[in-house]
Amino acid sequence: MHSLQKTPYLLTREQASTFLGIDPKSFDKFIRSNNSLKRFMIGKQERYTVDSLLEFIETHSI
């Protein structure tokens, strides 16, 4: 089980893929490229919350 105590609120692409247990390239191809994933922009850099990642996975599960 993943400990959320040490997880920053806004995750980078690499942190988000690690949280989900997938490769960053797979994250880009299958998750990040989908416009329904909520993201927070800091300048041109995307950040993701654990809640937005979990919501995306739950919504797109078959």
pLDDT tens-place string over residues 18-60? 999 999 999 999 999 999 999 999 999 999 999 999 999 999 9
46 located within any domain: yes
8 located within any domain: no
Q: How far apart (Å, rounded) are the C-alpha atoms in residues 30 and 4? A: 24
Which pLDDT value is given to residue 56?
97
4 located within any domain: no
| Confidence at 4, pLDDT banded by 50, 70, 90 | low
7 located within any domain: no
Nearest alpha-carbon partner for 47 in 4, 16, 21: 16
| Confidence at 7, pLDDT banded by 50, 70, 90 | confident
The pTM of the full predicted model, rounded to 2 decimals, is 0.85
52 located within any domain: yes
> Range of 52's domain?
13-60
In total, how many domains does the chain have? Answer: 1
55 located within any domain: yes
- What are 6's two structure tokens? 């040490």
Which pLDDT value is given to residue 6?
81
Which pLDDT value is given to residue 1?
46
- Cβ proximity of 37 and 29 under 8 Å: no
